[in-house]
Structure 1
Amino acid sequence: MLTINVAFLLTVIVLLRLRRRTEARSRADEKMTVVIVLILGVLLAPTAFGQDVLDVVGELVSGRWG
């Protein structure tokens, strides 16, 4: 049985939507992209990958990285 990770599927959708030219997007299309990205963030946040991203961003903001 084939299973598809919803977060992975949303990532692919976001990347495909962002590849289009800015001029070709309507306001509704931009709002839909924002909603999809927010849902993706909610799905990734509790995962180990999401926690790693949070740690890296926290270090960048505090100036301890690099």
Structure 2
Amino acid sequence: MLTINVAVLLAVIVLLRLRRRTESRSRRDERFTVVVVLALGVLIAPTPVGRGILNLLGELVDGVGEAAR
């Protein structure tokens, strides 16, 4: 039996869509990309990987904030 992780599938779709040329995208195409990215974010957020990304981004923002002072 083959199982597919939906988050991995969406990540592959996002990567493929972002590799395309930006000049030829329609509004419908851009909206679809945004919906796919949002769905990927919702799937990743409650996982340990999502928490790690959130912590990493938080530390990055704190570092930039301190450097700006």
Alpha-carbon distance in 2 for matches of 1:30, 1:21: 12
Alpha-carbon distance in 2 for matches of 1:5, 1:31: 23
Q: Does 1:5 align with 2:11?
A: no
Unaligned runs of 5+ in 2: 65-69
Aligned residues: 64
Q: Percent of counterpart pairs with the same letter? A: 70
Cα offset, 1:39, TM superposition:
0.4
TM-score, normalisation: structure 1:
0.93
Alpha-carbon distance in 2 for matches of 1:39, 1:21: 22
- Once the two structures are superposed, what CA deviation does each residue of 1:18-42 show, in whole Å capped at 9, x if it has no partner? 1110011101100100010000000
Unaligned runs of 5+ in 1: none
Q: Please, what is the CA RMSD of the aligned residues?
A: 1.0
Alpha-carbon distance in 2 for matches of 1:2, 1:20: 29
| Larger radius of gyration between Structure 1 and Structure 2 | 2
SS at match of 2:3: coil
Which residue in the other structure is 1:45 paired with? 45
Moved over 6 A (4+): none
Alpha-carbon distance in 1 for matches of 2:61, 2:38: 21
